[in-house]
Structure 1
């Protein structure tokens, strides 16, 4: 019983066959999924999928790449949706220094606003981080994000950064890259993360695990991520599945 804590079944890549993709995941033992909305279109679709499927939950937030597009009305809408019974977190939010659509200061402002909102509505946050490790950690500390905690999504940083985040009540989530043959650091870090701070995800349709690298990712492949972590930690798949699912249920207050 696996919990894919980060899916984008609301993406255009699943427009024609989302129901079949969901059925494949269920047949592979993926019992729960968290569908992430990050702009107007994807937030709406994430909530719709959560309403349609009992085992799908939604998270709503604003992606840092599109921070320059977020309005106060968008933030107010996210606050309203935070009260939805199937919305379990805010995000994804964070900093992305790879793309240059949104200036860094705008990204930071939008990130801070969403952390403030999460504290107000008492929901955990899902962090997107690309090429911004230290700024992410510093901002989380400044805003006392430990009050809500959350997930470091598709973690690719150092063990030192992971430890800083875990001190602030964050779980470390691994996706497809941990299975890549040349991914030395993700493997080393995953091996060291305590079981009670570990989560698994796909980030589908992106970052498909080996041997599907470069193809469309889907939730059924989260099993490959869990198998890789089980191998690294010299544990059974069942032990990884049980603990990561328990961790996700605890974080998202799912009983």
Structure 2
């Protein structure tokens, strides 16, 4: 089945999007973005994400410090800075089997260890700025790659606001590096994303949406929350 783009790591609730969020989502829809995985950086921001459920489907999928969390919380969205080998080794030691290493910039040898563990890797439009990660992208199998924007940061140009619609830039660049079509990259990376985040489909969202009331109720049910809180958002396609 054909799939639209999945932005596996963006900050759609960031202050930079407050004034024109509807336009940002519309532009994403126009280029074929189907699903956003929104990551917050503070509790107040997460509250804003929950408020967006009035306009689109969203499912908070919190990463928790409690290892006994519900099974749908077990996918990790990880950013490792200058510690790829240690990070991957630590996750393997802890028995983590479902993880996305976003904006990955480690050595290919470290990435291949992650591939052996079943981990996925995503790259934002910033990879288009130079060829530094070409060798890395070539060596990671496409079946272990996802797309992301990390918007509003890490766009094609520094100091210019990035948006989820720019996911097409990551797609085209990875396609060029790997010598395949952008359509192939879009399809395979979307399949990879839904394999990692199975609750991101519409049926999964409907099953749990009604139970999400407030941040305090989430804390009570799942215990201490980490700083990385992925939220699945199905982009609604609508005509203006």
TM-score (norm. length: structure 1): 0.71
Give the match for residue 138 of structure 2. Answer: 191
Matches within 5 A, 1:2-17: 2-17=5-20
Give the match for residue 181 of structure 2. Answer: 236
Matches within 5 A, 1:106-117: 114=65, 116=67
Verify: 1:87 aligned to 2:68, yes or no.
Answer: no
Which of 22, 45, 50 in structure 2 is aligned with 1:19?
A: 22
Matched position secondary structure for 1:145: coil
Deviation at 1:121, TM superposition (A): 5.5
Deviation at 1:239, TM superposition (A): 0.7
Which of 63, 77, 81 in structure 2 is aligned with 1:126?
A: 77
Alignment partners' CA distance in 1, 2:136 and 2:124: 13
Alignment partners' CA distance in 2, 1:15 and 1:236: 35
Give the match for residue 249 of structure 1. Answer: 194
Alignment partners' CA distance in 2, 1:167 and 1:50: 37
Alignment partners' CA distance in 2, 1:200 and 1:115: 28
Matched position secondary structure for 1:114: coil
Matched position secondary structure for 2:49: helix
**Any stretches of 5+ residues in structure 1 without a counterpart?**
58-85, 91-112
Give the match for residue 81 of structure 1. Answer: none
Alignment partners' CA distance in 1, 2:182 and 2:141: 16
Matches within 5 A, 1:87-236: 87-88=60-61, 90=63, 114=65, 116=67, 122-146=73-97, 149-181=98-130, 183-184=131-132, 186-209=133-156, 212-236=157-181
Deviation at 1:46, TM superposition (A): 2.7
Give the alignment's Cα RMSD to 1 decimal: 2.0
Matched position secondary structure for 1:26: helix
On the 8 A contact 1:175/1:225 being kept in 2, the answer is: yes
Matched position secondary structure for 2:135: helix
Aligned residues: 197
Alignment partners' CA distance in 2, 1:198 and 1:228: 13
Measured at CA, do residues 118 and 155 of structure 1 come closer, stay the same or move farther in structure 2, by a change above 3 Å? farther
- My pick for the range that moved more, 132-141 or 1-10, is 132-141
Measured at CA, do residues 144 and 2 of structure 1 come closer, stay the same or move farther in structure 2, by a change above 3 Å? same
Alignment partners' CA distance in 2, 1:190 and 1:179: 12
Structure whose residues are more often helix by fraction: 1
On the 8 A contact 2:61/2:72 being kept in 1, the answer is: no
Give the match for residue 104 of structure 1. Answer: none
Structure with more contact order per residue of length (Cα contacts < 8 Å, sep ≥ 6): 2
